[in-house]
């Protein structure tokens, strides 16, 4: 029993060295965040953050990542304000995703500020990256 | 008989008087092309990949010839709060986009419609929304709200390309207008 709990725990909270990241870009970023003090990577935590609603300062409505990108990362999303269609986030549905470090950092910065009202921490970005990279597993 | 002639003469004259008035409401004008800009119909198309990518991800990439340089300067200085959104850019992209916007702003443009936007804006004013400019308002004042803000397929005047099929290519000719759910629009 204890053993199975330990196995389950290791599956959910996998150490960085066991990172499931299969894309080089994700790998590179996860390593970079590790140098900022991130010890564990937790995609399930990333999923929780993805769906968590925030009410950022000066923002009249609550918002989450899913508000625009939806809860299904393999489906297209829609910008809540401009209604512009956003291509799916999951690399399985849109191979362009998570291939460009600069782009990833740009959108983390913009969208964390817009949604959470602040920049995301290295831990949050690590968790989100692992979730986005492989959302169907979590 | 005399009165019939007189009435015919009045109708004939009225026809001549009203004909140019009717035509002046259309996109087509005779003569004086220089006054309206050398190049006909619309504004310059967008030919800048950085602009398209950075500004066109969240909304339609608006052709820069729809606002004067002073508007773009003001807008680009406030990207942290871009109509409520965060749209920050890195220094390199910011510089490239600024250069593109200024070089192609309405006051630098030779396109007829860009000239119209400029002429409608009072000097010293720098509207942040294209839809706030007097020329835009005049061109859209006959459209009932139900076709735009009350139309779920349009929603807002900021979605140019919902009705102007060639908006992103700088084409705003009235013959290219198709209002979703209503079809062609002719004024």
Query: Could you tell me how far CA B126 lies from the centroid of its own chain?
Result: 16
> Helix, strand, or coil here: A23?
coil
Contact B159 A102 (CB under 8 A): no
A118 contacts chain B (CB < 8 A): no
Strand partners, A85: A78
**Digit-coded pLDDT (tens) for A24-48:** 999 999 999 999 999 999 999 999 9
Q: Which residues have a Cβ under 8 Å from the Cβ of B8 and sit 6 or more positions away? A: none
pLDDT (tens digit per residue) in B103-161: 999 999 999 999 999 999 998 899 999 999 999 999 999 999 999 999 999 999 999 99
pTM of the complete model beyond 0.90: no
Q: What is the DSSP string of A30-68?
A: HHHHHTTT--EE-HHHHHHHHH--B--TT-SS-B-HHHH
What proportion of chain A, given as a percentage, has pLDDT over 90? 73
Q: How far is CA A67 from the centre of its chain?
A: 14
CA distance A124 to A117: 14
Is ipTM over 0.85?
Answer: no
Residue B120 Cα, gap to closest chain A Cα (Å): 26
Under an 8 A CB cutoff, do B155 and A83 touch?
A: yes
Establish if A114 touches chain B: CB-CB under 8 angstroms: yes
């Amino acid at each position: 029993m204890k053993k199975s709990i330990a196995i389950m725990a290791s599956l959910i909270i996998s150490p960085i060295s066991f990172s499931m990241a299969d894309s080089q870009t994700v790998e590179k970023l996860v390593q970079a965040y590790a140098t900022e003090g991130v010890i564990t990577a937790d995609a399930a935590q990333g999923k929780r953050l993805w769906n968590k609603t925030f009410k950022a300062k000066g923002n009249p409505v609550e918002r989450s990542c899913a508000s625009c990108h939806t809860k299904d990362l393999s489906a297209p999303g829609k910008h809540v304000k401009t209604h512009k269609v956003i291509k799916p986030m999951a690399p399985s549905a849109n191979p362009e995703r998570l291939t460009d470090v600069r782009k990833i950092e740009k959108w983390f910065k913009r969208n964390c500020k817009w949604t959470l009202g602040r920049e995301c921490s290295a831990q949050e970005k690590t968790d989100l990256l692992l979730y986005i990279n492989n959302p169907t597993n979590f | 008989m005399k009165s019939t002639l007189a009435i015919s003469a009045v109708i004939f004259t009225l026809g001549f008087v009203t004909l140019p008035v009717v035509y002046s409401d259309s996109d087509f004008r005779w003569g004086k092309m220089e006054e309206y800009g050398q190049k006909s119909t619309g504004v310059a198309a967008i030919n800048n990949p950085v602009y398209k990518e950075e500004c066109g991800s969240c909304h339609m990439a608006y052709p820069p010839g729809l606002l004067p340089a002073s508007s773009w300067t003001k807008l680009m200085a406030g990207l942290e709060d871009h109509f409520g959104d965060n749209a920050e850019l890195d220094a390199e992209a910011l510089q490239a986009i600024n250069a593109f916007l200024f070089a192609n702003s309405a006051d630098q443009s030779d396109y007829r419609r860009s000239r119209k936007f400029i002429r409608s804006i009072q000097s010293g004013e720098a509207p942040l929304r294209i839809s706030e400019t007097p020329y835009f308002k005049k061109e859209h004042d006959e459209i009932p709200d139900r076709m735009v803000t009350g139309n779920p397929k349009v929603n807002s005047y900021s979605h140019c390309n919902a009705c102007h099929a060639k908006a992103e290519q700088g084409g705003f000719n009235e013959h290219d207008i198709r209002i979703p759910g209503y079809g062609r629009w002719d004024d």
